Structure formats: structure tokens, C-alpha cells
Amino acid sequence: MLVRQLTAITRAVSPAIARCELTHRPRVAIDAATAAAQHADYERALVRLGCAVHRVSAAPDMPDSVFIEDTAVVLDELAILTRPGAESRRAEVAAVAEVLGAHRPIARIEPPGTMDGGDVMVAGRTIFVGVSSRTNASGIDQLRGFVAPLEYDVRPVVVRGCLHLKSAVTTINDETLLINQAWLAPGAFDDFQLVDVDLREPDGANIARVFNRLLYSEGFPRTRERLEERGYDVTTVQVGEIAKAEGAVTCCSLIFKEHHCLSAV
Ligand code: CIR
């Protein structure tokens, strides 16, 4: 019998998080202890939703290391280690590589390619990739080379006005997206049902799927209401301190299926 479980890999908040990379937000003071407490709540929420949470060894000298999503793209068949677009973040990948190597065959984006995992959104057999300040054409071509034999279709999407593709759009399920259309070229997601964020909550398009439930920031109550009206099961966490570093809920974990073979009893 094949049993599927979800593993979530996380990484502790660095005490140096206030020195994080920023692209669109003004730099404001970030309290590392508050960010760490919010991150611990986030991990507990993942456990409650049914994930086995494993922390990668901390990297206190890497300010953005909590944003582990950017270091890899994990598919059922393989994991692709990224080469983050911000040079200061490239050293984050090594420790994640070690952990993922125990779960998946590994491929790796090489120079001159750059890619942040936050730019990669998998919806069924389609992989949308943000063309952003962090992810370039070579990175996207390399990704296509790895996944085309696995019958994934890779579609680049231009992102403007925000950090990553997944700042602007994430999957609610394989047919439905939560989206801020203002940050995306029109038409890219015509094949999907779309739930628009409330206009007063432009940062609200980032939501994490855990089985058929959703993990979301407390910071977007109007958009949350839209989701709940449509019948989605939404758990919220407070991640306001982490958001000051341009992070959101998907970026603090790598969530993937664990394949266990159990013999029938
Ligand atoms: C950065 O600029 O790289 C970090 N301060 C924020 C990264 C957030 N990552 C994500 O949403 N996937």
C-alpha cells in the first residue's frame, strides 16, 4: 500500500533577519524574537494541519535563511536546488541540499541561471515561473530541461510590482488560484478559476496548501472572508513581523509528499 504524508522543511529565523534583502518594502525595524515566535506558531500550525515538520540546521549568519522556499523546488519526482537571485542568499542552499537528498533525486540550477523558489508555482502538470528580479531566462530554461522529460509544461509569467510570482498568485487547489491581478500580465491564468484578493489587501495572494486545507496570514481578513464564503477551510497565523522582510506563508517551508511503502497487513 502506498501511504502519502506531507513533510514540511523549515529553518529557524536568523537573529540577523533585520539585515534581510528587500525589493519593494521600505526597511523597517524587525524584532527577531517576535519573528521567531511567529515562526514557531507557524510550525505548530503546520503540525496541526498534518505535516511532519523537520527543521534544517539554523544559519544565524544568513539573514534570509528562514525563507527556505526560495532554495528549492520539490516535485514528486525530484528536487531542483535553486541558485537564488540575491547573491547574499546563495549559501543558504547547501544545508537544504543535504536534507532534500534523503527524500528526492537532486538537480541543480547552475550559473548563469538564477531562480528563487518563490517564483515557482506548480499547478498539476503545469509549472508557472515568475520572470522577476530573482529568476532569469537561463534558470527557467534549465528548469524546463529537468522537468520536460517528466511531462511538466513550464510557463514563464512576467511579474511586476512585487517580489515573486507567489507574492501575486498561489494555488488554492489545482484548478483555483488566489490572485492579485495587478501584479501579473493579463491572460496568463485564463484556464483557472480565480479568487481575487480584496483590493485593500494587495499582499494577500500568498496562501499555503496543506492537503485540502489552507494556511494563511491573519493580516488579510477581507480576503479570508472571500475564501471562507466559497467553502475553503482556512487556518490563520500571525506573521506580521516576518512580512516586514517581504516573507509570507509559503516562503517559510518546503512542503512535499513523502512516499512510504507499507506492506498490507
Ligand atoms: C528576500 O528578499 O529574498 C527575502 N527578504 C524575502 C524572501 C521571501 N521569499 C518568498 O516569499 N518565497
* Predicted confidence (pLDDT) per residue in 118-137, tens digit: 999 999 999 999 999 999 99
Whether residue 96 has pLDDT greater than 80: yes
Neighbours of 201 (CB within 10 A): 17
Residue the block writes with cell 535563511: 65
Query: Per-residue pLDDT averaged across 86-100, rounded?
Result: 98
Cell of 127: 509549472
Query: How many Cβ atoms are within 10 Å of 155's Cβ, its own excluded?
Result: 15
Ligand 1, CB within 6 Å, residue ranges: 20-23, 64, 67, 69-70, 86, 89, 118, 163-164, 245-248, 251
Tens digits of residue pLDDT in 196-237:
999 999 999 999 999 999 999 999 999 999 999 999 999 999
Q: State the distance from the centre of ligand 1 to the C-alpha of 260, rounded, in angstroms.
A: 32
Atom number of ligand 1 nearest to Cα 119:
12
pLDDT digits (tens, 9 = 90+) for 35-80: 999 999 999 999 999 999 999 999 999 999 999 999 999 999 999 9
Tell me the pLDDT tens digit for each residue of 132-168: 999 999 999 999 999 999 999 999 999 999 999 999 9
Q: What is the mean pLDDT of residues 108-112?
A: 98
164 residue type, one letter: H
Check residue 4 and give its pLDDT. 63
Nearest to 101 by CA among 126, 127, 118, 78: 78
Supply the residues annotated as catalytic.
Answer: 164, 251
Q: How many Å lie between the centroid of ligand 1 and the Cα of residue 80? A: 18
3-state secondary structure the chain: CEEEEEEEEEECCCCCHHHCCCCCCCCCCCCHHHHHHHHHHHHHHHHHCCEEEEEECCCCCCCCCCCHHHHEEECCCCEEECCCCCHHHHHHHHHHHHHHCCCCCEEECCCCCCCCHHHEEEECCEEEEEECCCCCHHHHHHHHHHHHHHCCEEEEEEECCCCCHHHHEEEEECCEEEECHHHECCCCCCCCEEEECCCCCCCCCCCEEECCEEEEECCCHHHHHHHHHCCCCEEEECCHHHHCCCCCCHHHCEEEEEEEECCCC
Residue of 19, 67, 255 to test ligand 1 pocket, by largest number of atoms within 8 Å of CB: 67
pLDDT digits (tens, 9 = 90+) for 239-248: 999 999 999 9
Mean pLDDT for the chain overall: 96
Closest atom, ligand 1, to C-alpha of 84 = 3
Work out the average pLDDT over 91-116: 98
Task: Answer for the pair 203, 243: CB distance below 8 angstroms, yes or no.
Answer: yes
**Residue nearest ligand 1's atom 3 by CA:** 21
**Which amino acid is residue 35, in one-letter code?**
A
Residue 2: pLDDT over 90: no
pLDDT at 259: 77
Other C-beta atoms closer than 10 Å to the C-beta of 44 total: 12
